[in-house]
Structure 1
Amino acid sequence: MPVDNAHKSKSKGLSHTHRQNSTGMSLARYDSDTDSPLPMASRSRLHHLFGQIEKEFETLYSENILLQDKVENLQERLDAYIAGDKTGSDSLDIPDGSAKAKRSASHISQKIKKSYIASTSKLVSSFRQATPAFVMVKSYHGHKDGVWEVNVSRHDSMVIGTASADHTAKIWNVETGKCLLCYAGHQGSVNAIRFNPVKDLVVSTSGEGTAHIWSPTVNLPPHEILRSQSSEDELEMSEKEEANDELLEQMGSLRTPLRELIGHNNVVIAADWLCSGSQLVTASWDRTAILFDAETGENLNTLFGHDQELTEVRAHPSQDLVVTSSKDTTFRLWDFRDPNMPVTVFQGHTQPVTTAVFAGSEKVVSGSDDRTVKVWDLKNMRSPLATMRMDSSVNRLCVSQSQNIIAIPHDNRHIRLYDLNGNRIGRLPRSNRVGHSKMVCSVAWADENPLCNMFSCGFDRQVLGWHINTQIKE
């Protein structure tokens, strides 16, 4: 409620008098203090400065009181005007004081309100129509440690593979969320998993320094047969489901690879198949990449050049081109189409390059710990076509070949979407119940999957399936 102005003025005067008296007492006390170590001139100067400061505060305080009174008076008039009080309405400042002017002012005010509401509603509705829908559809549970990579089968978009620090790689059914096969042949953390583009094969890499080639298929009995093995009188439905899952995991476990690729003397961080499917390239912390023959496991060529550990390797989807990323802040393009194998070095980042992937036939997208993502043209490597600045380090990104959208996973648990021109599309939701709770390590697009067209994995042991709708409604 408003405070009486006379009471305020009286209080202000008393307060001012009290401050003057207290200041005078303080000055007298300091002047009479002969034990002070300060010289008399310094003390006088300080007293003068403090007095000026006090005057400034008093002036500000007085102005504040006056402004508060004005605000309260205006609020009273406004309340009276809204309530239809004529006395309050008459106190409003209208130039000619006529009723016609009052009605005109009220009419203009109402028109402004209606126009503002209409324009705001239209703007908000346009935003709602243009906002893409990012929905988490499915989650896949089973790994006991962080998941380093997720990948989609080249032959069946309803099958994905994951590589985990729990020393296993798993094959999943996208629709049911069940683990179809658990590969437990590695002795160390499984860092990557990639599907062969031609054959029904998978390569996985590990911290033990090797890469394994194995088949992602396994002959399992129908789920209904397993369910019938338990008597309905002995087990409840939930117990039967748990027993069936354990039996499926036991029967769907694989420990022996078809072929083991040996040649590195340190962690093999990634591997990828060439477009023919008969050769593959591995990348290691020993600063080299090796071209292997998938049929024989023979070392065809060792690729030297990086000054520090490699972080990623990706092959071109239709040509014999490979790009390797490294902690030396560069990524290199290796051309296996030429017998001389020319190499192009990209120097555009200031910190370790964590990922570099092909986008279409003529572009490469790179991401780095320097919190940038850059799009490059293979025909002009001097400067990037687009640069996207992030707020966190970038991990293994992926580009949708059909939509030309870059999905970017981050250390700060976010996943952002951009187009190849560097325009931001959106960010996937993240809350206590949706999204990742720790670092997102990898993403993978599944453009042909009607249920989930993108997958993500993180160090929170989660593998999530998303439906990304980027079509803007007119």
Structure 2
Amino acid sequence: MDSKLPSSVRSTLLELFGQIEREFENLYIENLELRREIETLNERLAAEGQAVDGAELSKGQLKTKASHSTSQLSQKLKTTYKASTSKIVSSFKTTTSRAVCQLVKEYIGHRDGIWDVSVARTQPVVLGTASADHTALLWSIETGRCLVKYTGHVGSASGDQTAHIWRYAVQLPTPQPVADSSQIGGEDEVECSDKDEPDADGDASSDCPTIRAPLTSLKSHQGVVMAADWLVGGKQAVTASWDRTANLYEVETAELVHSLTGHDQELTHCCTHPTQRLVVTSSRDTTFRLWDFRDPSIHSVNVFQGHTDTVTSAVFTVGDNVVSGSDDRTVKVWDLKNMRSPIATIRTDSAINRINVCVGQKIIALPHDNRQVRLFDMSGVRLARLPRSSRQGHRRMVCCSAWSEDHPVCNLFTCGFDRQAIGWNINIPALLQEK
């Protein structure tokens, strides 16, 4: 019967099954050798049992010694099987769930690490970055040029304990043709030296318009403000701080409406629901909390406990789901109707920073401390790892990711301690989307 699988998928499967056959053939040969070794050892022990220093070993002593040696060899065999089969399974997952990732544009202009990246939800669609150099920049996504620089803060990205609201007007430049970067789907990477880092002295923000003062300053926190977001409707905003609270403000008057208390340690992030008056806050106390403002007379809160280290971010996605990332190297998908346990868990090899979910394709972008960015679907299947080499990709810790689902070229952005933001084109094959 003719196979209905695409030829590329079929060839990949045949190659993998060939690898599996070779692995188990090697294991079978090694198993035979180990059994022969056991038989030889038992024969030697039986011979030694005739006399040791002129005294005959008891049958019980001989049995114990032989059993101990056999146990050691059995453990070696189990370890060999486990390592080999894990290698096969890992290879199968990585090869059969591959997205095509292409680096499109680098945004270089900050003089220190970039903590956060975001994309405007309304027209004109621009890229925003917040940095430890005390500035926030707006960029043209197409050209990589800085459009506006904001210098109103006196601390690192709200390290001055305030959140600022400011207005901008930009004239988007005419897009120029973008040089095509090589498409890659592989796992190879090359270590980079410091001399490969972007040169901040020739930054792109030196000649762009500068805004030096905010329209409104929100000043009720007693610690560093780590994150801020707009509630649906745009009339209220929420902030998260190291003072262990999240604050809800009336934007027009800068009035503090609610101070959300309950976390035991510093907050790391906050996020609002795109269509409902819901807020989720993350904390170093290993929890994240859901705050419900839909009923003006009741402000309920639910606590989600499932991580063993700092929850670096928690974000809303489609339906009643929330996705959380942590320094415990896991990402978890939760159903808000059942907060006892996650419906999916992704385990990785590095701490995870501010995640973001592509709602349309249900893809989670994971920025890591180890400079990698990985993509998973909502069920926990790995789709890709973004390319990293001496010529492209992040060279330091990746702090944040942000999707722009409607942009025709750049649909994912990342930023990090290497002082640059990067725009990517992520293409998920139709076969994977149907899974």
TM over 0.5: yes
> 1:296-343: per-residue Cα shift (whole Å, max 9, x none)?
100011111000000000000000000000000000000001222010
Q: Distance in 2 between matches of 1:130 and 1:443?
A: 21
> 1:145 aligned to 2:112?
yes
Q: Distance in 2 between matches of 1:128 and 1:157?
A: 38
C-alpha distance 157-469 of structure 1, shift in aligned 2 (>3 A): farther
> 1:434 aligned to 2:392?
yes
For residue 392 of structure 1, report the CA deviation from its aligned partner: 0.4
For residue 429 of structure 1, report the CA deviation from its aligned partner: 1.0
Provide the alpha-carbon RMSD of the alignment. Answer: 2.4
For residue 222 of structure 1, report the CA deviation from its aligned partner: 9.7
> 1:168 aligned to 2:147?
no
Alignment match of 1:185 (pick from 126, 130, 152)? 152
Alignment match of 1:402 (pick from 333, 347, 360)? 360
Would you say the 8 A contact 2:329–2:350 is kept in 1?
yes
For residue 244 of structure 1, report the CA deviation from its aligned partner: 13
C-alpha distance 368-472 of structure 1, shift in aligned 2 (>3 A): same
Would you say the 8 A contact 2:140–2:172 is kept in 1?
no
Matched letter for residue 243 of structure 2: D
Q: Distance in 2 between matches of 1:276 and 1:452?
A: 27
Would you say the 8 A contact 2:309–2:327 is kept in 1?
yes
For residue 216 of structure 1, report the CA deviation from its aligned partner: 2.9
Would you say the 8 A contact 1:148–1:164 is kept in 2?
yes
> 1:4-31: per-residue Cα shift (whole Å, max 9, x none)?
xxxxxxxxxxxxxxxxxxxxxxxxxxxx
C-alpha distance 302-134 of structure 1, shift in aligned 2 (>3 A): same
C-alpha distance 157-421 of structure 1, shift in aligned 2 (>3 A): farther
Alignment match of 2:160 (pick from 188, 191, 208)? 208
Structure 2 equivalent of residue 11 of structure 1: none
Greater relative contact order: 1 or 2 (C-alpha under 8 angstroms, separation 6 or more)? Answer: 2
Q: Distance in 2 between matches of 1:259 and 1:160?
A: 21
Matched letter for residue 271 of structure 2: R
Instruction: Kindly report which structure 2 residues correspond to 1:10-409, keeping only aligned pairs within 5 A, or say none.
Output: 131-156=98-123, 158-190=125-157, 206-218=158-170, 248-249=207-208, 252-338=209-295, 339-409=297-367
Q: Distance in 2 between matches of 1:469 and 1:401?
A: 15
Would you say the 8 A contact 2:288–2:305 is kept in 1?
yes
> 1:333-356: per-residue Cα shift (whole Å, max 9, x none)?
000012220100000001111110
Q: Distance in 2 between matches of 1:149 and 1:220?
A: 22
- Is the partner of 1:417 in helix, strand or coil? strand
> 1:431-469: per-residue Cα shift (whole Å, max 9, x none)?
111110100000000010011000000000011000000
Matched letter for residue 460 of structure 1: D
Q: Distance in 1 between matches of 2:253 and 2:139?
A: 28
Q: Distance in 1 between matches of 2:277 and 2:414?
A: 27
Structure 2 equivalent of residue 88 of structure 1: none
> 1:241-287: per-residue Cα shift (whole Å, max 9, x none)?
x99967742xx100010000010111011111101110011110000
For residue 425 of structure 1, report the CA deviation from its aligned partner: 0.8
Structure 1 equivalent of residue 87 of structure 2: none
Matched letter for residue 129 of structure 2: T
Matched letter for residue 182 of structure 1: K
Q: Distance in 1 between matches of 2:323 and 2:382?
A: 15
Matched letter for residue 361 of structure 1: G
> 1:361-401: per-residue Cα shift (whole Å, max 9, x none)?
31000011111100000111111000010100010000001
> Percent same amino acid among aligned pairs?
57
- Is the partner of 2:291 in helix, strand or coil? strand
For residue 167 of structure 1, report the CA deviation from its aligned partner: 0.3
Matched letter for residue 271 of structure 1: A
C-alpha distance 384-462 of structure 1, shift in aligned 2 (>3 A): same
C-alpha distance 247-288 of structure 1, shift in aligned 2 (>3 A): closer
- Is the partner of 1:467 in helix, strand or coil? strand
Please, what TM-score do these two structures have when normalized by structure 2? Answer: 0.69
> 1:464 aligned to 2:416?
no
User: Which one has a bigger Cα radius of gyration?
Assistant: 1
Would you say the 8 A contact 1:171–1:216 is kept in 2?
no
Matched letter for residue 285 of structure 2: D
More helix by share: 1
Would you say the 8 A contact 2:108–2:204 is kept in 1?
no
- Is the partner of 1:299 in helix, strand or coil? strand
For residue 473 of structure 1, report the CA deviation from its aligned partner: 5.8
For residue 294 of structure 1, report the CA deviation from its aligned partner: 0.7
C-alpha distance 222-403 of structure 1, shift in aligned 2 (>3 A): closer
Q: How many residues align?
A: 315
Q: Distance in 1 between matches of 2:242 and 2:159?
A: 10
> 1:20-48: per-residue Cα shift (whole Å, max 9, x none)?
xxxxxxxxxxxxxxxxxxxxxxxxx9xxx
Q: Distance in 1 between matches of 2:97 and 2:173?
A: 47
Q: Distance in 2 between matches of 1:382 and 1:162?
A: 35
Q: Distance in 1 between matches of 2:226 and 2:350?
A: 22
Gaps of 5+ in 1: 1-44, 46-123, 191-205, 224-241
> 1:60-101: per-residue Cα shift (whole Å, max 9, x none)?
xxxxxxxxxxxxxxxxxxxxxxxxxxxxxxxxxxxxxxxxxx
C-alpha distance 222-323 of structure 1, shift in aligned 2 (>3 A): closer
Q: Distance in 1 between matches of 2:407 and 2:168?
A: 19
> 1:422 aligned to 2:389?
no
